[in-house]
Amino acid sequence: MSKQLRIANVQPVAGTYALLIQWRDGGCQVVDLIEIIRTYSVLKPLEDLEQFRLVKVGQDGFDVSWGNGVELCSTTLHRLALV
């Protein structure tokens, strides 16, 4: 069974729609979310950079959330970082 990705820390990259993700295994990746925000209407609230900056690591590090019902799982974020 493969190990699930878990997030240790998340920070918004100033002035962009990108997140700096620090993984619990010690890795670090920048994930640009502008295309996914523009593609999926459920993510529309994140077009407001003030709202985007409110990102936090979710329970047990399996996702990030913005406190407005919007969240993205760690697996999705990892896949987006690879593109």
Asked if the structure places residue 34 within a domain, the reply is: yes
Flag whether 31 is in a domain: yes
pLDDT band at 3 (very low <50, low <70, confident <90, very high): low
Whole-number Cα distances in Å, 23 to 8, 26, 42, 58: 5, 5, 25, 13
Tokens of 37: 């925000």
Number of domains in the chain: 1
pLDDT at 26 (0 to 100): 93
Is position 2 within any domain? no
Q: Look at residue 42 and tell me if it is in a domain.
A: yes
- Encode pLDDT of 8-50 as tens digits: 999 999 999 999 999 999 999 999 999 999 999 999 999 999 9
Taking CA 41 as the corner, what is the angle to CA 28 and CA 59, rounded to the nearest 5 degrees?
40
CATH number, domain containing residue 62? 3.30.2020.10
Cα angle value 24/29/30 (rounded, 5°): 135
pLDDT score recorded for residue 9: 98
User: 19 is in which domain, residue-wise?
Assistant: 7-81
Instruction: State the pLDDT at residue 2.
Output: 47
Domain assignment present for 35: yes
